[in-house]
Amino acid sequence: MPPRRSQEGLLARVNFPLYSIEMLTSRHVLVAGGGGSSKTGVANGFEIYEIYHNGQNFVAEEIVRHETGANVVMNCAVKSTGNHSYLVAGQESHCQLYHVNIKIDKNENGRIETLKPLLGRRSSVTFDEQNLRKRKASQDASANRRYSASKNTNSDGNQNENRYLRFEIKAGDLTQTDFSTDGPLQRVVRISPNCKFMATGGTDAHVRIWKFPSMIQMFAINVHTKEIDDLDFSPDSKRLVSIAKDGLALIWNVETGKESAKLNWTPPNNVKYLFKRCRFGNFEGKSDHHRLFTIANPIGKVGKQMGYLQEWSPENGTLINSAVVDESLASLAVRDDGRFVAIGTMFTGSVSIYIAFSLQRVLHIPNAHSMFVTGLEFLPEKDLDGPAITSNTEAAVLSISVDNKVCIHSLSYRHMMPAWIAILLIIGALFFTFTLCSYIGL
Residue 114 confidence (pLDDT)? 33
* Range 180-198 average pLDDT: 95
- pLDDT above 70 for 136: no
* Among 136-145, 244-253, 301-310, the least confident range: 136-145
Residue 381 confidence (pLDDT)? 85
Q: State whether residue 100 is helix, strand or coil.
A: strand
* Among 111-120, 284-293, 320-329, the least confident range: 111-120
Q: What is the DSSP letter of 119?
A: G
Give tens-digit pLDDT for 344-363.
999 999 999 999 999 999 99
Residue 386 confidence (pLDDT)? 66
Give tens-digit pLDDT for 51-64.
989 888 899 999 99
Q: State whether residue 130 is helix, strand or coil.
A: helix
Give tens-digit pLDDT for 365-390.
999 999 999 999 999 987 666 677 88
Give tens-digit pLDDT for 105-117.
665 443 333 333 3
Residue 415 confidence (pLDDT)? 57
Residues in Cβ contact with 17 at an 8 Å cutoff, skipping those fewer than 6 apart:
33, 34, 35, 42, 374, 401, 402, 403, 404
Residue 154 confidence (pLDDT)? 43
How far, in Å, CA of 304 to CA of 298, rounded? 10
Q: Chain-centre distance of CA 384, in angstroms? A: 14
Which CA distances in Å does 45 have to 24, 72, 138, 437? 15, 6, 10, 74
Residue 160 confidence (pLDDT)? 47
pTM for the model stands at 0.81
- pLDDT above 90 for 302: no
Residues in Cβ contact with 312 at an 8 Å cutoff, skipping those fewer than 6 apart:
263, 291, 292, 293, 294, 318, 319, 320
* HSE value, Cβ hemisphere, 13 Å, CA-based, for 95: 33
Per-chain mean pLDDT for the chain: 82
Residues in Cβ contact with 104 at an 8 Å cutoff, skipping those fewer than 6 apart:
83, 118, 149, 163, 164, 165, 166
pLDDT band of residue 162 (cuts 50, 70, 90) is: low
Give tens-digit pLDDT for 271-283.
899 999 999 998 7
- 165 forms bridges with which residues in the sheet? 104, 147
Identify whether the C-beta of residue 263 lies closer than 8 Å to the C-beta of residue 322: no
Q: Which residue has the higher pLDDT, 102 or 317?
A: 317
pLDDT band of residue 156 (cuts 50, 70, 90) is: very low
How much of the chain exceeds pLDDT 90, in percent? 60
Give tens-digit pLDDT for 72-107.
999 999 998 877 899 999 999 999 999 998 877 665
Give tens-digit pLDDT for 259-275.
999 999 998 888 899 99
- pLDDT above 80 for 320: yes
Domain residues of the chain, as ranges? 1-172
- pLDDT above 60 for 435: yes
